[in-house]
Structure 1
Amino acid sequence: MVYFFRICVLILAGLGSSFCLRAHPTPIDTSATADIPAFITIGSVSVEGNYRTRTTIILREMALRAGDSVQANQLDERLEIDRRKIVNTNLFVTVDMLHFPDNEDSTLVNIRVVVKERWYFVIVPVFQLADRNFNEWWYDRDRDLKRITYGLYMSYNNLTGRADKLRLLAEFGFIPKYEISYSVPYIDKAQKTGVTAGMSYTTNKTLPYRTWNDKLDYFNSESLNRERFYTFVNFTRRNKFYSFHSLDLRWNYLQLSDTLARLNPEYLLQSRKSQNYFQLTYTYNYDRRDNVQYPLEGFNYGLQVSKLGLLPTDNTNQTYLYGWYKHFIPINKRWFFNSGITGRMSAPVRQPYPQTLGLGYRMKLVRGYELYVIDGQHYFLWENELKYKLFSFQKTFPWIPVRQFSTIPITAYLNSFADLGYVQNYYPELSNTKLGNTLLSGAGVGLDVATFYNMVFRFNYTINGLGQDRFFFQIGRVL
């Protein structure tokens, strides 16, 4: 069975390679455009529909400026590139780029950017599962409604029209949590430097105190067994359109009960009951995807390095390196292929349980292993997908009084996928792992539905390398 999945992955990778060859655009027949001026000049750039968003925030995403000279046969392509960048600010429901000749000067072309803003202020009740994903709750937790987290979430995006964000969260139930953060993407006149600050406090009574047989092993209790708190400040730098730098400094604090420290002396190592440390993380991200919500074209790669424990008084000392590369290839108007590889390395190999992160967390997994957690110090993940667009439409309902909700885009894709992964675990006896230190493989078919406000619904039927087949559901949102 394992060899079958390896073959599936190689087939998809081979398809992707051949599709790369087919995806190159056909050269333009210049003879057919002989009467069109070789170059045109941008006369004016205007923005409409931005009732709250400042015009400078939108223009900052555009490479085209008034007075620029552009090859006539490249104008539409360059406008589409700018449109995608504006879409990826996540500030608008729709973005349209229009151009037309200037009435007074035929050598000029004027540009109109027409946007439809989202609903920025949202207060919604929180009702979600405390488990890693819906599938774990559905299959392994007996659909226990006691494992529900409820509360209130407030998000005010674009608070002052500068794409700034204020977020407040108060959750109760299975995992009480309180969070606040505020971010400003640009604090300088050049619109390159931004800052975010925030804090979070979480408590647990029932929680996983170890991983055993590649499953989270929970300790059930009515007493407080863990407290977690962190505060952070994050600086971002965007020198160019697609390059993002981030420097994050935070202070972390974790306190365990005597019972939890006794159940797993390796939780914080050496039977410790508390952990506090400063952490410094640098991230570089280069993003040329057409749409961050559901990319179909372009590529994205990045690198992250983090040091846990900066001061002599910190009781954690760990470093990790994390990197990724993803490529999205449109084959034609309906067929699409993507492939991506992700990897993480960390040192030293003796690590506290909360910092020993392998596959299974934050949707980093080989599809087919949604119900498993494979702990380890290092891992790699290779994901491949071939998809077919079933339909795509955008419907406006005039009878809906709130304009930010009156336009609903829906796109559906059939997809097939094949993944490979591997987790290196230097202490397999601590978790009795059967999946660590072995090649993991999974394949399947599914249906993806992408809609507005960055919501993506995924319905997958998978078979993993253990021969287990199952239906999985996932709902995600790009914030």
Structure 2
Amino acid sequence: MRYQLWIVLGFLLMSRSGVALPDSTKTAVIRHIFLEGNHKTRAGIIMRELAVKSGDTVRVHELADILEVDRRKVVNTNLFVTVQFDPEFTGDSSQVDLRLKLRERWYIFGLPVFQLADRNFNEWWYDRNRDFSRITYGLYGSHNNVSGRNDKLKVLVELGFVPKYEISYSFPYLDRGMKLGLTAGASYSTNKSLAVRTWNDKLDFLPGESVNRRRFYFFISPSYRSKFYGYHMLDVRWVNATVSDTVLIRNPHYLFGDDTRQRFFQFTYTYSYNKRDIGQYPLRGYNVVFQASKRGVLPGDDVNQGYLYGVYRHFLPLGGRFFFNSGVRLRASFPARVPYLNMVGLGYRLDLVRGYELYVIDGQHYGVLQNELKFRLFDVVKTIKWLPRQFGTVPVALYLNAFADAGYISNKVPEWSNSRLSNRLLAGTGLGLDLVTFYNLVYRLNYSFSAEGERRLFFSVAREF
């Protein structure tokens, strides 16, 4: 009873002193939504991302949170450098106009390509003796907003260690309801030197002066975006690969048998639900990915393989400058014996236990648990006035992170790769720095410790979406 009296007394004192209590019942009608700064991008592409519409009635005290969610969705289109909502209330606050201020990115790029042919920088630095002959060079051209509808055209010409030619076009919305999309593309590459097997959990390369492998594929991918966060995609592709006799002599399991050619159709269904705040470097929210694929669809196809793949990751702000995220990656592949060319294990892209960046661990089924604790050192936006407006706004953020990973991969044929790391628990931990800047660039520097007692400094550059 005493506590209740104190609460009532507190409210009376606040009202007498002139302190206004928040009115959680007050509402306002959204009168107009104005877009500013979308010189190239069509208004419908932006409005597609907004949950709020003209004529909606919203609670005033909830408006800021609602607009922040919509602002992040517009940011994740990767069309704008900055996105800002400015609400403008009428005199009695019964109506509000929303002004969405945008600064578009530079959409047309013609960039020289100068990159490593290896899986990552660390493999090249530690295992390939910093061999500059393993460099690919060429030209990458892209238009990331061709018609103003967030459609993308990409052309890649690479020469050097692995010559490659690629072209793709993506149109996210074919229908008036803005739910159906389509992507199509093709790729052709040749290899003189290539990894013909994994041995002792390392890629074993076959050197060569003549072409030892040619690979061509064509794909078409219809997509369906059900709501704001969910995507369905069906990828249909035809793959044709040919290798030299030397490859089969070096590894009889590379394609199976004496046939130097492998051709097949592949169907892959992917569902993703991405409710992260910022796709570039998420700090809150979660994302889910599920994938089911079948290689070898027609009776005459040279491969018969299926796999299931799933990812779940959750991002949590802990208060202040601290953030935490945890996630799991799972993959199951059937049957156990497939050609080496179609074998996928741990060590590629994000499917790895940190501390084992230098290893490729073959197997059929694997699971990886990844955890990170982050501390934001700073997060600023610099304006460089003498640069064009698309480049003059430069966000820069630096995070200190501590990570701990664990994983396991099941390998039914470890003798094929003389593996010592498959069929056992893997664990790694370490500290790192993440530098996040504009156009989705993330620079990572990690010092990792593995359960094998190895400790190394690893560096990577990624352009994330």
In which range does the TM-score fall when normalised by the shorter chain?
A: over 0.9
- Cα distance in 1 for residues equivalent to 2:150 and 2:140: 19
Task: Give the letter for the 1:269 counterpart.
Answer: F
- Cα distance in 2 for residues equivalent to 1:455 and 1:86: 18
1:457 matches 2:443: yes
Task: Give the letter for the 2:82 counterpart.
Answer: T
- Cα distance in 1 for residues equivalent to 2:135 and 2:189: 15
Summarize the alignment of residues 70-85 of structure 1 with structure 2, pairs less than 5 Å apart.
70-85=58-73
1:269 matches 2:256: yes
Q: Which residue of 2 aligns with 1:101?
A: 89
| 1:23-47 Cα shifts (integer Å, max 9, x gaps) | xxxxxx9x96445752111111111
Q: Select which of 70, 74, 78 maps to 1:86.
A: 74
Segment drifting more, 207-216 vs 270-279: 270-279
Structure 2 CA distance for partners of 1:34 and 1:335, relative to 1, 3 Å: closer
Query: Helix, strand or coil: the match of 2:74?
Result: helix
Does the 8 Å CA contact 1:358/1:374 hold for their aligned counterparts?
yes
Q: Select which of 390, 400, 403 maps to 2:377.
A: 390
Summarize the alignment of residues 174-193 of structure 1 with structure 2, pairs less than 5 Å apart.
174-193=161-180
| 1:170-200 Cα shifts (integer Å, max 9, x gaps) | 0000000000000100000000010000000
1:322 matches 2:312: no
Q: Select which of 389, 412, 425 maps to 2:398.
A: 412
Task: Give the letter for the 1:90 counterpart.
Answer: N
1:130 matches 2:114: no
Summarize the alignment of residues 132-281 of structure 1 with structure 2, pairs less than 5 Å apart.
132-281=119-268
Q: Which residue of 1 aligns with 2:347?
A: 360
Q: Which residue of 2 aligns with 1:12?
A: none
Q: Which residue of 1 aligns with 2:457?
A: 471
1:333 matches 2:320: yes
Q: Which residue of 2 aligns with 1:25?
A: none
Deviation, 1:168, is 0.2
Query: Helix, strand or coil: the match of 2:276?
Result: coil
Q: Which residue of 1 aligns with 2:26?
A: 38
Does the 8 Å CA contact 1:246/1:283 hold for their aligned counterparts?
yes
- Cα distance in 2 for residues equivalent to 1:436 and 1:326: 24
Deviation, 1:372, is 0.3
Does the 8 Å CA contact 1:126/1:152 hold for their aligned counterparts?
yes
Does the 8 Å CA contact 2:28/2:93 hold for their aligned counterparts?
no
Deviation, 1:239, is 1.2
Q: Select which of 378, 396, 413 maps to 1:427.
A: 413
- Cα distance in 2 for residues equivalent to 1:207 and 1:35: 68
Task: Give the letter for the 1:154 counterpart.
Answer: G
- Cα distance in 2 for residues equivalent to 1:457 and 1:143: 20
Does the 8 Å CA contact 1:214/1:433 hold for their aligned counterparts?
yes
Q: Select which of 54, 58, 62 maps to 2:46.
A: 58
Deviation, 1:106, is 3.8
- Which structure 1 segments of 5+ residues have no match? 1-28
Q: Select which of 273, 283, 286 maps to 1:296.
A: 283
- Which structure 2 segments of 5+ residues have no match? 1-13
- Cα distance in 1 for residues equivalent to 2:439 and 2:133: 29
Structure 2 CA distance for partners of 1:378 and 1:36, relative to 1, 3 Å: closer
Task: Give the letter for the 2:189 counterpart.
Answer: T
Task: Give the letter for the 2:395 counterpart.
Answer: P
Does the 8 Å CA contact 2:185/2:220 hold for their aligned counterparts?
yes
What is the number of residues matched between the two proteins?
A: 448
Task: Give the letter for the 1:461 counterpart.
Answer: Y
Q: Report 1 or 2 for greater relative contact order, CA contacts < 8 Å, sequence distance ≥ 6.
A: 1
Query: Helix, strand or coil: the match of 2:319?
Result: coil
Does the 8 Å CA contact 2:121/2:460 hold for their aligned counterparts?
yes
- Cα distance in 1 for residues equivalent to 2:331 and 2:370: 15
Does the 8 Å CA contact 1:410/1:449 hold for their aligned counterparts?
yes
Q: Select which of 422, 434, 439 maps to 1:436.
A: 422
- Cα distance in 1 for residues equivalent to 2:23 and 2:287: 39
Query: Helix, strand or coil: the match of 1:53?
Result: coil
Deviation, 1:302, is 1.8
Using structure 1 for the length normalisation, give the TM-score.
0.92
Query: Helix, strand or coil: the match of 1:209?
Result: strand
Task: Give the letter for the 2:29 counterpart.
Answer: T
| 1:206-236 Cα shifts (integer Å, max 9, x gaps) | 0110000000000101011000100000011
Task: Give the letter for the 1:101 counterpart.
Answer: F
Does the 8 Å CA contact 1:264/1:271 hold for their aligned counterparts?
no
Identity within the alignment, %: 55
CA RMSD of aligned residues (A): 1.3
- Cα distance in 1 for residues equivalent to 2:147 and 2:84: 23
- Cα distance in 2 for residues equivalent to 1:154 and 1:175: 18
- Cα distance in 2 for residues equivalent to 1:220 and 1:201: 20
Query: Helix, strand or coil: the match of 1:331?
Result: strand
Does the 8 Å CA contact 1:385/1:416 hold for their aligned counterparts?
yes
| 1:54-109 Cα shifts (integer Å, max 9, x gaps) | 01100100000011011111100000000000000001111001101136x74101
Summarize the alignment of residues 297-312 of structure 1 with structure 2, pairs less than 5 Å apart.
297-312=284-299
